[in-house]
Amino acid sequence: MNSIKFLYAAYIATWLIHGLYLGSLARRYSRLRREMKDSDKGR
């Protein structure tokens, strides 16, 4: 059935959005770690 494509699209879209968000969180965490290390190094 053609409509099954919509089912896959919906499930994939859901995890794509969650994945992108978690990825951006991970990026922010690593940037924060870098800042903290720089801050400690300077002290």
Partner 1 sequence: MKRAFPILAVLTALLLGYATYQALVVAPTERTMGDVQRIFYYHVPSAWTAFLLFFVNFLASLQYLATANPSAKRVINWVVIAIAVVGAVAPYIPQVQKQLPEGLYPSSVATTAVMIAVLYFLVGKFFIERSLDVLAVTAAEVGVIFCSIVLVTGPLWARPVWGIWWTWDLRLTLTLVLWLIYVSYLVLRRFSDSAQTPKLAAVLAIFGALDVPLVYFSIWFFRTQHPQPVIGGGGSIDPRMLHILLMNWLAFSCFAFLVCWLRYRLEIMQRDLHEAQALEALLGDGLPPSSARTGSPINRTPSGTGTA
Residues in the site for partner 1, rule: CB under 8 A?
Answer: 1-4, 6-7, 9-11, 13-14, 17-18, 21-22, 24-25, 27-29, 32, 35-36, 38-43
33: tokens are 């770690």
**What is the nearest approach in angstroms of partner 1 to the Cβ of residue 6?**
5
**What is the nearest approach in angstroms of partner 1 to the Cβ of residue 37?**
10
**What is the nearest approach in angstroms of partner 1 to the Cβ of residue 43?**
5
Backbone φ, ψ for residue 24 (5° rounding): -70, -35
User: What's the Cα-to-Cα distance from 28 to each of 13, 18, 43, rounded to whole Å?
Assistant: 23, 15, 23
